[in-house]
Structure 1
Amino acid sequence: MNLEEANRENLDYMIETLADKLQLVNRSMLKSEDFDMDHYYDIKELYDVAEMKGQLSVPEIQAFVSEMSQYRKAQ
């Protein structure tokens, strides 16, 4: 999988992986359909940081969730 290529499948994969890494109990907070392709590279940047760090602390998890909320589609 080449995540440098911006497509829906890659975005879905990154969001699902981030939800796992962030150990979200309420996975509806990061439903891939709530995000559009406009923020693909912003989300990829967060994905890359999470992959590089491995284990995340509670404050880091909160920061990631907060950052991701900025990229959600307007309701």
Structure 2
Amino acid sequence: MGLENPSTENLKVILEEFADILGVVNRSIMDPEDYDLNKYEDLKFMYDMVKQKGQLSASETQAFIDELRSVRKK
């Protein structure tokens, strides 16, 4: 399955991966309905960066969470 095209299903896959990588306990903050599909490209870019990097330091994780917060619906 390719993640290149914006869709709710692809957004869900990306957010689930983020939750796993970041060790998110409260998965409700990763609900695809809380994220704007118009910001999919931003999320996909972040996803690609994290997948390429592999493991994140504590400060990188915090910065990443801040970035996720910025693309959530207000």
Do Structure 1 and Structure 2 share a fold, with TM-score over 0.5?
A: yes
Q: Where in structure 1 are there 5+ consecutive unaligned residues?
A: none
> What do you get for the CA RMSD once the two structures are aligned?
1.0
Q: Which one has the bigger helix percentage?
A: 2
Alignment map for 1:4-15 (pairs within 5 Å): 4-15=4-15
Q: How does 1:1-75 map to 2 (within 5 A)?
A: 1-74=1-74
**Comparing 60-69 and 24-33, the one that deviates more:** 24-33
Q: Which amino acid aligns with 2:52?
A: M
Measure how far apart 1:4 and its partner are: 0.7
Q: What are the superposed Cα offsets for residues 8-45 of structure 1, whole Å, 9 maximum, x if unpaired?
A: 10011001101110111222332222102110000000
Question: What TM-score results when the alignment is normalised by the length of structure 2?
Answer: 0.92
Moved >3 Å (runs of 4+) = none
Amino acid at match of 2:16: E
The sequence identity of aligned pairs, in percent, is 46
How many residues are paired up? 74
| Structure 1 residue 6, shift from structure 2 partner | 1.1
> What TM-score results when the alignment is normalised by the length of structure 1?
0.91
